[in-house]
DNA sequence: GCCGAAATTGAAAACAGTTTTCGTAATCCA
DNA sequence: TGGATTACGAAAACTGTTTTCAATTTCGGC
């Protein structure tokens, strides 16, 4: 029931498809194709999970060490604007990015002990939000739902939980 | 059905109760009572809504212009630590604080046009989250649910919505 | 291919919100 | 009331992100 999505290995075909979609976007906007942007997006799309700027830059530098933060930030903004990528913030002060294989919306459970992030989607939950909004005469554009807690099945997370109590949330 | 909470005028008795609770907290921690902290907390508890640090400092300065950012930040941390106040972040890059008359948990709807924030609580929604977590062997410590959108009943918000499309979310 | 306007890059500076430092002042218990 | 301890406030530091700016690259038209 309501399975947590497993993070897929990025599918090479899908990656190419996205690269093409981004190229389209760039062209439509009258922007230029550059070596750096190509490096950045192809690196990004081949990563999985919720990637921070620093993580991405580190990977990118392996392909081209001269690429700097500014270009990565700028390219991520373009990716978001293109709709191919979503920005997330889970309260650790870093922006994280995910470019999902499927465009589906989903929500997150974040383990405060091991940092693992589970993704889930539940239609009843979504519908309930809609109906609550409706009742208050509110029109939802988007929402965010994050459950913070601990993995129950990992001894490590349960062990740590007992001493460190609830890890403080920074930002 | 599932009423949006109206922001109450802070009740003078409740405010005094909280001031006392904070004094207790300070004492239990072996900290000292200071004029500045008293000014800050009594100002804070008499405000309503989701207060930013700058907003609070502005108010505080009316009582004592010599109080600075550092002390306000430090006092807010203590308030959060005491459990009397919660920190919120709605994606505009500012921390906001609320000290609720009732300790109840609640979630938020945020109008991206006029900035108004509605609070709501729905037991079915909460229960559904629990059961989803259960299914994934996840233990929830806390969660955050925010619905971003627009007031349906304010012409201004509907008007603006049509041109500015969805306001971008900064942080 | 070459020109040149327009876009892009990268290093460094700027920014914004928040935290820390550090010298001075206030608190409060023995 | 002495004096160890805690707090204050201004300014500096910090962090993640954005902007600036001079130099480089792109690309449509010749
Ligand atoms: Mn995700
Ligand atoms: Mn609230
Ligand atoms: Zn959802
Ligand atoms: Zn809730």
pLDDT in tens, A91-148: 999 999 999 766 589 999 999 988 899 999 999 999 999 999 999 999 999 999 999 9
Which residues of chain B make contact with A89, given a CB cutoff of 8 A? 89, 91, 171
**Taking CA A52 as the corner, what is the angle to CA B139 and CA A57, rounded to the nearest 5 degrees?**
155
* Shortest-distance ligand to the CA of residue A109: 1
Question: What stretches of chain A show up as alpha helix (H) in DSSP?
Answer: 12-28, 35-45, 53-63, 69-82, 123-135, 155-164
Is residue B170 predicted with pLDDT exceeding 70?
A: no
* Shortest Cα–Cα distance, B110 to chain A (Å): 9
* B123-142 tens-digit pLDDT: 999 999 999 999 999 999 99
Q: pLDDT band at B166, cuts 50/70/90?
A: very low
Helix (H) or strand (E) holding A95: strand A95-98
Is residue A13 predicted with pLDDT exceeding 50?
A: yes
pLDDT for the residue numbered B103: 56
B60/B64 Cα distance (integer angstroms) = 6
Which residues of chain B make contact with A115, given a CB cutoff of 8 A? none
Which chain B residue shows the shortest CA-CA distance from A107?
A: B145
Which residues, by CB, come closer than 7 Å to strand D? A 32-35, 52-53, 69-70, 73-74, 77, 93-95; B 26, 30-32, 34, 36-37, 64, 66-71, 74-75, 170
HSE at residue B52, side-chain half, CA atoms within 13 A, is: 9
B9 dihedral zone (left: phi>0; alpha: psi -120 to 50; beta): beta
A122 CA to centre of own chain: 18
* Shortest Cα–Cα distance, A31 to chain B (Å): 21
Q: Can you read off the two tokens belonging to residue B170?
A: 């900064």
CB pairs under 8 A between A and B: 123
Is residue B162 predicted with pLDDT exceeding 90?
A: no
Is residue B97 predicted with pLDDT exceeding 50?
A: yes
Average pLDDT of span B52-81:
98
Average pLDDT of span A149-167:
75
A104/A98 Cα distance (integer angstroms) = 12
Is pTM beyond 0.75? Reply is: yes
Q: pLDDT band at B100, cuts 50/70/90?
A: confident
Average pLDDT of span B143-168:
78
In a mutational test of the A interface, the residue from B145, B160, B161 whose CB has the highest number of chain A CBs within 10 Å is B145
- What secondary structure letter does DSSP report for A127? H
Instruction: Tell me the domains of chain B and their CATH numbers.
Output: 1-103 (1.10.10.10), 105-171 (3.30.1490.190)
By the 8 A CB rule, do B22 and B84 touch?
A: yes
Neighbours of B164 (CB within 10 A): 11
What percent of chain B is predicted at pLDDT more than 90? 76
The reply to whether residue A128 touches residue B132, judged by beta carbons under 8 angstroms, is: no
The reply to whether residue A4 touches residue B150, judged by beta carbons under 8 angstroms, is: no
Residues whose CB falls within 8 Å of the CB of residue A129, separated by 6 or more in sequence, listed in order: A140, A143, B125, B145, B147
The Å distance, Cα A117 to ligand 1 centre, comes to 8
Is residue B149 predicted with pLDDT exceeding 70?
A: yes
B50/A153 Cα distance (integer angstroms) = 37
* B14-42 tens-digit pLDDT: 999 999 999 999 999 999 999 999 999 99
Chain C positions within 7 A of any protein Cβ atom are: 7-12, 16-21, 26-28
B38/A163 Cα distance (integer angstroms) = 33
Average pLDDT of span B101-119:
87
Average pLDDT of span A145-154:
94
Average pLDDT of span A47-75:
97
Longest dimension (CA), chain B: 56
pLDDT for the residue numbered B157: 86
């Amino acid at each position: 029931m309501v399975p947590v999505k497993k993070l897929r290995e990025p599918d090479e075909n899908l990656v190419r498809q996205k690269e093409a979609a981004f190229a389209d976007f760039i062209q439509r906007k009258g922007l230029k194709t550059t070596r750096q942007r190509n490096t950045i997006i192809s690196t990004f799309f081949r990563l999985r999970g919720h990637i921070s700027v620093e993580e991405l830059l580190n990977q990118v530098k392996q392909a081209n060490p001269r690429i700097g933060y500014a270009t990565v930030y700028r390219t991520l903004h373009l990716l978001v604007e293109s709709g191919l990528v979503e920005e997330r913030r889970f309260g650790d002060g870093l922006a994280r990015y995910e470019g999902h294989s499927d465009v589906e919306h989903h929500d997150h459970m974040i383990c405060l002990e091991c940092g693992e992030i589970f993704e889930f989607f539940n239609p009843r939950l979504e519908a309930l939000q809609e109906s609550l909004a409706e009742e208050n005469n509110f029109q939802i554009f988007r929402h965010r739902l994050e459950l913070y807690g601990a993995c129950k099945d990992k001894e490590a997370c349960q062990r740590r939980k007992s001493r460190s109590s609830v890890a403080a949330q920074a930002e």
